[in-house]
Structure 1
Amino acid sequence: DGVTYSFGIFYLEFLHYFREGKGKTAWIASILVGVTLCSGPISSSFVNRYGCRPVTIAGALLSSVCMILSMFAQDVLTLYFTIGIGTGMGFGLIYLPAIVSVTCYFERLRSLATGIAVCGSGLGTFLFAPLTEWLIYQFGWRGAMLIIAAILLNSVVFGALFRPLEAPKTKKQPLTIE
């Protein structure tokens, strides 16, 4: 979420580089946030079918690859697809399984664990805003995208750490005929 909610920092860079209107340029971040948040039903169906681990890994790979592809964009329309739809869908595939896995791992302190997990969104935004600004200043918007794509690949590792839960063992009851 840190990347998503601090993505507006790229706005001025895109505005100057692509020389498009403010509204057309603002759609990039709007599509990113919209697709990320609206991908919940798709992400949940994948989690039900494949589990949290592979869905998170797929989302991390998708978001990173699409962020890298964005470096080569020659127009705003391309960014609608690479950042808005591709990276947005990737983020949606990361976010939902992360929350679901927390609720599955913690029974007794589920509310606290979920609260801490959701708090990561705020912390990520707090950290990524100045980091993104610094990366753009040091490396330009394309270099910043590449570095952020590399950072996103860490979610592959985090996704791999989601261990599948074993179903609770039930005591076998002897069969009785009455």
Structure 2
Amino acid sequence: MNDPVSNPRYRWIALIASGLAYSLCFGMLQSVGVLYPEWIRAFQAPASYLSFIGSFPTAIGCMAGPICGVLVKTFGCRTCGIAGGILTFIGRCSCYFATSVPFLAIAYSVLPGIGAVLTLVGFSSIVNSYFIKERSIAESVLGGGLCFGNFFTAFLLQKFVEAFSWEGAMLLSGAVSLNVCVCGMFFIPKGKIADHPLNLWKVHRTTDQHLNELNHKTVSETSIHGDNTDVVQKSQDGFLTRSRQLWKDPFFLLIAVCDFLTWMALLIPYIQLTEKARLLGVEPNLAAWLSSTFGIAGIVGRPTTAGLSTYFKIHPLWAYSINQAILGAATVFSPHWTSIPGLFTTAVLVGFFSNGYGFIKTSVAVMIGRQHFVDAYSWMLFLEGVAICAGPFLAGMLADATNSYDWSFRFSGLLLLTSASLCLLKIPLQKVKATL
């Protein structure tokens, strides 16, 4: 449907702004590998002592997901998107004054992590409100933006470090993070975009035309999606009341468990594959290209898998299940691919089939309802924060116990396969929910 009210052309600008915000927020956080050597020299601390700092921002931010969800519901996506950029700026700039590892860990983790997730919830809600049929494609564009951001911000951060030291790099990267505020300006709710000054396609309408369009919007969206109209709706029920109702929803429980298992597993190949290659005798410069291969494959794979699922009209949960099953099988068998081509094959497969997160977010809107997206996604982020801490930690224990990364990869693959298999519960749960 190409109706300008139900599907305003502005939605593509909102999607581009969201993708840029995603790449800036999380691209900076995931480029921490550029800073590790500088921190080791500056603080004279062992690598194992500093390595945990890289995962702290995402974990802390995700655990604050429910709080971020309440803020988005209360103050709106646009305000929270801008506030997230400001928090990221303050946090990264404060790293300049770090004189100890604990100070650095707090400065680098708390405000940037919460700021990134606050922005994430804001633009995810905006994209969820604008995109209906193309929702999977929109999520893949966001994911592709993140992959591109990993390249761009890592390159930029390296240049900053070479020219201005790591302290100067933190100040400059904080300044770059202010561009998130600019992106946040474009997080305009769908219901307010028709006459907004930033809408390039706004039309000056008479009062009668405006009322006709509002009536048309209500009829068209209700006929397609029931009561699921705009995303960020003010509810008379409090957050805790809405959350209790949400946790009673069997579909939400299914999605939350699948998402939790995925995030326990997902980061393990990204963290361990490069080090595994070095232990197998691969030259460090060549092994470093494995990280880049993840990103390149993701840029290609995310829109490809989303486009196929949209073209063949596959339900997002089934698309997620297929995606995770292929990814899980590849990860389980990856310990047998010890040659250089085999290692790069692992990186390509993991990157190409990295759109599972886009499918699971789409499943939330389709199965639970767009009006419940913010609350559901907030709790999913909280569980993701726990999973991000638990999964790599358990994988590290397996690697230490076996003196090999093989069982870490098998552990990751089995979690992904379990997550894919649990999606089959949708069929009986659909019957259960019908009786509630």
**Shared topology, TM-score over 0.5?**
yes
User: 2:168 matched to which residue of 1?
Assistant: 143
Contact 2:64/2:114 (<8 A) preserved: yes
Q: Please list the CA deviations of residues 75-106 of structure 1 after superposition, one character each: whole Å capped at 9, or x if unmatched.
A: 11111211111211111111221222111112
Determine whether 1:79 maps to 2:87: no
User: 1:17 matched to which residue of 2?
Assistant: 42
Instruction: Give, in angstroms, the shift of residue 70 of structure 1.
Output: 0.7
Contact 1:70/1:79 (<8 A) preserved: yes
Determine whether 1:127 maps to 2:152: yes
> CA–CA distance in 2 between the matches of 1:60 and 1:133?
21
> CA–CA distance in 2 between the matches of 1:84 and 1:8?
15
> CA–CA distance in 1 between the matches of 2:163 and 2:56?
27
Q: How many residues align?
A: 171
* Structure 2: tracts of 5 or more residues without a match: 1-25, 193-213, 220-436
TM-score calculated relative to the size of structure 2: 0.38
Determine whether 1:56 maps to 2:81: yes
User: 2:307 matched to which residue of 1?
Assistant: none
**Once the two structures are aligned, what percentage of the paired residues are identical?**
30
Which gives a bigger RCO, structure 1 or 2 (Cα 8 Å, sep 6+)?
A: 1
> CA–CA distance in 2 between the matches of 1:89 and 1:53?
16
> CA–CA distance in 2 between the matches of 1:114 and 1:11?
31
> CA–CA distance in 2 between the matches of 1:95 and 1:140?
29
User: 1:95 matched to which residue of 2?
Assistant: 120
> CA–CA distance in 1 between the matches of 2:121 and 2:173?
20
* Structure 1: tracts of 5 or more residues without a match: 172-178
Contact 1:32/1:83 (<8 A) preserved: yes
Amino acid at match of 1:82: A
User: 2:142 matched to which residue of 1?
Assistant: 117
Contact 1:102/1:117 (<8 A) preserved: no
CA RMSD of aligned residues (A): 1.7
Contact 2:43/2:100 (<8 A) preserved: yes
User: 1:176 matched to which residue of 2?
Assistant: none
TM-score calculated relative to the size of structure 1: 0.88
Contact 1:58/1:90 (<8 A) preserved: yes
Amino acid at match of 2:100: D
> CA–CA distance in 1 between the matches of 2:63 and 2:153?
22
Amino acid at match of 2:120: Y
Instruction: Give, in angstroms, the shift of residue 37 of structure 1.
Output: 3.2
What is the aligned counterpart of 2:178 among 143, 153, 159? 153
Rg larger in structure: 2
> CA–CA distance in 2 between the matches of 1:110 and 1:23?
41
> CA–CA distance in 2 between the matches of 1:107 and 1:33?
28
